[in-house]
Structure formats: C-alpha cells, structure tokens
Structure 1
Amino acid sequence: MTGGFLLICAMCLDAIVGEPDWLWSRIRHPAILIGAGIEWLDRKLNLGAQRRAKGLLALTLLVVGSLILGKLLSLLGPAIEIIVCAILLAQKSLVIHVRDVAVGLSTSLPAGRAKVAMIVSRDTQDMTEAQVARSAIESAAENLSDGVIAPAFWFLIAGLPGLIVYKAVNTADSMIGYRNETYRDFGWASARFDDLLNLIPARLTCVLIVALSRRWAFWHQIVADARGHISPNAGWPEAAMARALNVALAGPRSYDGKLRDLAWVNGDANREIGATEVFRACDMLWKVWGLALGLLSVWFSFNLIVLEWSIQ
C-alpha cells in the first residue's frame, strides 16, 4: 500500500474527525508527549557552558528517537499509519480555532480577543478588531503550512518516521526556538532545522493559495513581502493569503508588553478588517486542503496506472 494512498486516507480522516475532545480528555495527545520529552531535554541539557552543542545533542536525540518511533509504528500496519498520520495533521482543528475567532468577533471584541489569545503568542488584551482579525488570518496561513501541508509533505517523502521527525522538530522550535537569553544558544539548532524542514512546504502552501485565488499577477510582490518577513518561511503563506483576501497583514504588534514595529505584508490593501475576512480565510483553508487532496489523488492514480502498465 503506497504512501500516497495512506496520506489520502489520513487527510480525509482528519477532516472528518479532527481532534475529538472525548478522546484527548482521556489520554494524552502525541503532541503533548513530544512536548514533555522536549521539556525533559531542556531541563537536563540547557545549563552550564556549551549550550549550542548541547542544543545540537538535544536535537539529535529528538530526531533519532522520532525516527525509531516512526519506524516501529509503521511496522504495525497501514491502519496504524493512517490513524497516526491523521492525528498529527491539523486541518479540522485549525479551521475550528480560526473560525472561533470570527464567531467571537461577530459577538463582541472581548470575545474575539479571548479566542485569538488561544492561537497566538502576542499580547491580545488591547487589540482592536482589525488586529484580532489580522492575527487570526496570519495564524491560519502559517499553521496551514506548519500543521497541514508540511506534515503531509514529509509523510509523503519519508513515511511515518519523516512525519514524526517533522512534528517533533516543529514542536521543539515552538518551545525552545526563541532568540532570548535562555534559548538563544540551546534552541538554535532546533530553530534552524525547523526552518530547513519548512523551506519547501511553506513555498508550496504559497503556490497553492496563489493558484486558488488566481493572484499570479502579484507574484513578485508576494515574493518581496515573503523575503522581508521576520520568518524565513511564514511570510510565504501569509503574503499569499493577504493577496487572496485583499487585506494587509503583519505590521506592528506587541509581545510581553513591548511593541515591535514589523513590516506590513500587502500594506496598501484593506487594514480595517474583521470577522468577515476571518471567515473568508477559513474558506481558503478548506480550498487549499481540497486542492492538495485532489493533486495527491491525481498523482496516486497516475502512479497506479503506470504500475499496472509496467506489470502488463
């Protein structure tokens, strides 16, 4: 059974089931277990001298452990591979969380702030309606790449071991990949490796959004905004989403009480946005998922035909 077929099944299962509360309220989600392992490595290794070398050791242990775990799970058969892959994809849960922000904004600004605080790390208590909407759309674009396209890509390339390595490294980046005194050295290797693993998926996500929105005429501006973004990868899906919705994203925002004057993405577009634009972003998430599934199905069917022809 090919990886393409398993991935098609996993994507559909994730889209239907998502993250059921009845299950994860009883057992620990794999992402939480991965996070617990990273916290243990942080406590044991992130101290004393040579923290960059220790961070590289932590990353190596994380990758090797993920490869072994992925290989062992894959030996249990295709059904387990499909289930694990579906669990580590995040399409339905992403749409639910982003849509919750739109629903919250439709009710009141404080409700929108409360919902967006669940999906972003920036300060939310004084956000305007437009800032809440921008934050939700940026999170939607970035997590479409990190939580859906990238995991699917690495599963297709390297099976369950590749997928689990990606999720472990991506989780490590979100936990220790900060440029502060505590993690500047220790988290450096994890952050750089995460950048490498997301290099192709982020640009692939961008292309899918541009193809669906038919914004090829803005390609040079999209590339310019992506290259000027604070993140080497997140800027690509964000720049594409900004053009698809004709909105301005990024710009100044506050972290831990400190204002950061970041560059705008598609800054000349509409800045006074709200729940309507967030709902439209949710629609785009499903369109990209559908296009990815369709392309994967075509690719799988083509390979199946070639295989049958070669056998004959």
Structure 2
Amino acid sequence: MSVAIILVLAMLLDAVMGEPRWLWSRFSHPAVLMGRAVGFLDRRLNATQGGIVAGIAALLLLMFGAALIGWALSLLGGGVQIVIVAILLAQRSLVQHVTLVADGLRVSLGDGRCAVSMIVSRDTAAMDQSAVARSAIESGAENLSDGVIAPAFWFLVAGLPGLMVYKIVNTADSMIGYRTPQYERFGKAAAYMDDAMNLVPARLTCILIAVPARVIATLQEIAKDAAQHRSPNAGWPEAAMARAIGVALAGPRAYDGKMQKFPWVGGAGARIIGPKEIDASVRMLWQAWGIMLGLTILLALI
C-alpha cells in the first residue's frame, strides 16, 4: 500500500473520528508521550548543562528516537499506519476547537474568551469580541499548517519516520523553542529545525487556502504581509486566510500582561468581526483540507 493511499484513508478517518475522548481518557495520546520525552531531556540536559550544544544533542536524540519508532511501526503494515497517521493529524479536532469559539461568542463574550483561551497563549481576559474572533481565526490558519498539512507533507516525503520526526520537532519547539532565559540557547536548535521543516508546508497551506477563495492573484500581497509576521512561516496561512474571508488579522495583542504592537495582516480587511467570520474561516479550513485530499488522491492514482 503506497504512502499516498495510506494518507488518503488516514485523512478520511481523522475527518470522521477526530479525537475519541473514550480512547484518550484511557490511554496516553502520542502527543502526550512526545511531550514527556521532550520534558525528560529538558530536565536532564538543560538543568545540568544548558547551552546550544546540549539543545542540539537533545534534538538529535528526539529525532533519532522518533524516526526509529516510526520505522518500527511502519513494519506492522498499512492498516496500522492508517490508524497512526489519522491519530497524528488534527483536522477534525482543529475545526471543533475553532467552532467552539464561535459558539461561545454567540452565548456571551465571556464564553468566547473561555473557549479561545484553550487554543491560544495570549492574554484573553480583556479581549473584545473582535480580538477573540481574530485569535480563533489565526489559530485555525496556523494550526491547519502545523497540525494537518505539514504532517501530511512529511508523511508523503518520508513515510511514518518522516511524520514522527516532524511531530517530535514541532512538539519540542512548542515546549522549549522560546526566547527566554531558560530556553534562549537550549531551545534554539528545536526552533530553527521547526522553522526549516515548516518552510514548504506553510507556503503550501497558503496556496491551499488561496485557491478555493480565489485570492491566488493576490499572492504577492500575501507574501508581503507574511514577511511582517514574527514567524517565518505562520504568516503565510494567516495572510491567505485574512484575504480569503476579508478580515484583518494579527495586530496588537497582550502576552503576560504586556501589549505587543504586532503589524496587521490583511490590514485592509474588516477589523470589527465576530462568530460569522469564524464560521467563514472554518469553511475555508475544510476547503483547503479537501484540496489537499484531492491532490493526495491524484498521487495515489499516479
């Protein structure tokens, strides 16, 4: 069974099943296990040695272990791989979390803030409705790239070992890839590797959003907005989503009580937004997913 066929079936399984609560209430999710592995090396190497060399060593250990596990699991056959890949994709759960923010806002601003606090790290307590909506839309666009398109891409490129390596790198970046005194040096390798592995998937996600929205002609403007983003990759899907649904994203927001004056993405778009715009972004998430599925089916047929 080819990797393309496996990916098609895994994408469909994820879209139907999502993240079964009954399963992960009894067993540890692979993402949790990966987080524990990162945390273990953080405690062992960062606490005692620190520094860039220790961070590189930790990353290489994580990548080698992930590749080895991926290779071993791939020997169990196509059926096992379909289930594992479906577990490591996140389309349905992503859509559900973003939709919950729109549903929360329809009830009250407080419910919207509560829902969005589950998917973003920025301060949410003082957000107005537009800020809540922007946060949900941005999170959806960025995580479409990180949680769906990038894992699918690396599975097509390098099979289950490639997917497992991507997931452990992405997990490491989310845990230690910060510019803080604790992680500035130790997490640098993880942050750079995550940027490198997301270079192609982020731009692919941008195109997958722009094509069905018929804004591909504005790709040059999207690229300009993406270049202003603090991340070399996240700006691409966010800028595409901004134009796809006609809203302004990013802009000023607070982290740890400090207001950060980030530039607007798609600044000409609407800035007063709410549940309706979140719903529009969810439709775009599914359309982009559908095109990726279609492309993978073509690969399988070829």
TM-score computed with the length of structure 1 as normaliser: 0.96
Partner of 1:153: 153
- The residue aligned with 1:213 is 213
The residue number in structure 1 matching 2:192 is 192
| Residue aligning to 1:247 | 247
- Residue 291 (structure 2) pairs with residue 288 (structure 1): no
Q: 2 CA distance for matches of 1:195 and 1:28?
A: 27
Taking the TM superposition and a 5 Å limit, the aligned residue runs for 1:118-197 are: 118-197=118-197
Q: In 2, Cα distance between the equivalents of 1:99 and 1:50?
A: 41
Residue type at the aligned position of 1:230 = R
Match of 1:12 in 2: 12
2:47 counterpart SS class: coil
* 1:254 match: secondary structure: strand
Task: Kindly name which structure, 1 or 2, has the bigger radius of gyration based on alpha carbons.
Answer: 1
Distance between the aligned counterparts of 2:8 and 2:130, measured in 1?
A: 36
- Amino acid of the residue matched to residue 246 of structure 2? N
Please name the residue that 1:33 is paired with: 33
Aligned to 1:310: none
Q: CA deviation at 1:50?
A: 5.3
CA apart distance, 1:48: 4.8
CA distance in 1, matches of 2:202, 2:184: 24
Q: d(CA) in 2 for partners of 1:50 and 1:120?
A: 28
Q: Which residue of 2 aligns with 1:222?
A: 222
Partner of residue 42, structure 2: 42
TM-score of the two chains, using structure 2 as the length reference:
0.99
Give the equivalent residue in structure 1 for 2:59.
Answer: 59
Q: Deviations over 1:109-148 (max 9, x none)?
A: 0000000000000000000000000000000000000000
Aligned mates of 1:284, 1:136 — CA distance in 2:
13
2:207–2:216: 8 Å Cα contact kept in structure 1? no
What letter matches 2:232 in structure 1?
P
Query: What do the CA deviations read for 1:248-296 (whole angstroms, capped 9, x no partner)?
Result: 0000000010111001101121000000000111111111111111111
Q: CA RMSD in A?
A: 0.8
For 1:194-251, what per-residue CA distance to the aligned partner results, in whole angstroms no more than 9, with x for missing partners?
A: 0000000000000111111111232111000001110000000000000001000000
The residue number in structure 2 matching 1:307 is none
Alignment length (residue pairs): 302
Aligned to 1:263: 263
Q: Describe the SS at the equivalent of 1:268.
A: coil
Distance 2:246 2:227 in 1: 19
C-alpha displacement of 1:47: 2.8
SS of aligned partner of 2:254: strand
Counterpart residue number, 1:78: 78
Between 39-48 and 124-133, the greater mean CA deviation after superposition: 39-48
SS at match of 1:47: helix
Structure 2: how far apart are the matches of 1:267 and 1:243? 9
In structure 2, how many angstroms separate the alpha carbons of the residues matched to 1:6 and 1:14? 12
Per-residue CA distance 1:143-202 (angstroms, 9 max, x = gap): 000000000000011010000100000010000000111100000000000000000000
2: CA distance between counterparts of 1:253 and 1:45? 34
Q: CA deviation at 1:49?
A: 4.9
Matched residue type, 1:129: Q
Segments of 4+ moved more than 6 angstroms: none
Identity of aligned residues (%): 57
CA contact (8 A) 2:150 2:198 kept: yes
Gapped regions of structure 1 (runs ≥ 5): 304-312
* Contiguous gaps of at least 5 residues in structure 2: none
1:157 and 1:218 map into 2 onto residues whose CA distance is 29
